[in-house]
Amino acid sequence: MNIEKIVEEVLSEMGRSEESQEKHLQYEQKKEVTVADPVSKENIEYVQRLTPARIGIGRAGTRMRTKNYLDFRVDHAAAQDAVFKDVEDKVIEKMGLSLLKSRAVSMQEYLMNLDAGRKLDDASADWLKNHAEKGEQVQIIVSDGLSSTGVEETVPDLYLSLIQGLESKNITVGTPVFIRKSRVWIQDEVAALTDCELVISLIGERPGLATSKSISAYIIYKPGEESVEADRTVFSNIHEGGVPPVEAGAYLADVIERMLQNQASGVAFARIK
């Protein structure tokens, strides 16, 4: 074989390799009964439809089957991405939220130092003092928390529904903000700086292997230095596979209206009949 022929074949192989690299493989996750010879496959399929839990998976020796293992790895990767990736700026801008930051300068500090995520950095605190609307009934905070995916996939519809619900009830809303790497208790400082009656935080939940898109809503009426966890009301599991975002937003608006009327949240609100 001459040199020209060899070069032609090498270039041809390189071209095919580049083409294959441009193609992305799509791994399809689909619930299947992978137990070998199940007593009742229909019963297992029925239970699989009722829960996101890993039910009816088979094994090969002492290990799970390859498909089940790949499903696990896909879900685990999604959970890790939800925690460590930042919410994209375009998502924040589309919702019209002002961008603030906590004192946590890195994800490692956020995870290891709880207090760093409970306070605004100096620049963000100054911005709230000088630019945010003051004295409104409700202050909305959106936080990435432990799921950037939850914010990107769930919050836009939830936020829009909540805003529409509050407006329909003539409840005034302050300047909505997004706070990177913040925790629930940061709402106490925000409330003090904006002089609002009630704060609601929409925050990414810790992802599991069932979903990485879940959001929780924490609400507190007039928080102060003496506020504790029992003063907060929480609604969780808001995502497409749990409580639908649009439905949750409308429901939260109703709850906020009743909290303002009763001037209470948390355990005190739960005791009101």
Number of H helices, E strands in the chain: 11, 8
* 32 annotated to bind ligand: no
CB environment 202-234: b (16+ within 10 A), e (fewer)? bbbbebeebbbbbbbbbbbbebeeebeeebbbe
* 184 annotated to bind ligand: yes
The SS3 call for residue 237 is strand
Measure the CA–CA gap between 113 and 106, rounded to whole angstroms.
Answer: 10
Does residue 228 contact residue 267 with C-beta atoms inside 8 Å?
Answer: no
User: Kind of pairing, strands 138-143 and 98-101?
Assistant: unpaired
Sequence-distant (≥ 6) Cβ neighbours of residue 124 within 8 angstroms: 100, 101, 102, 179
End-to-end CA distance of the chain: 91
The 3-state DSSP composition of the chain as helix, strand, coil percent (nearest 5) reads 50, 15, 35
**Which residues are part of a known binding site?**
184, 205
Binding-site residue set for adenosylcob(III)alamin: 184, 205
